[in-house]
Amino acid sequence: MTLVAECDELVQQYRRCAARFAPQELLGAYALAKQVSDQHGTIADSALAQQCLALQPKVEGLWPEPCE
């Protein structure tokens, strides 16, 4: 995946939620993973992890309920 644990977790959560609530949005998980992977070589892992943690509430807000 992205090789940054926090970002991998975010992508996995997006994938689980999309599969449950909006299968047509599954490509969004792949796009998110690609975007993070593309940045992996240019941004420090710690900064990338912080970005992914900051995106967590936004991703959670996309879905009508938690999808653990």
Q: Which amino acid is at 32?
A: L
pLDDT of 7 reads: 94
Pick from 44, 18, 20, 50: nearest CA to 31: 18
Query: Which pTM does this prediction carry?
Result: 0.88
* 1: pLDDT strictly greater than 90: no
Is pLDDT of 11 > 90? yes
Query: Which pLDDT belongs to residue 41?
Result: 82
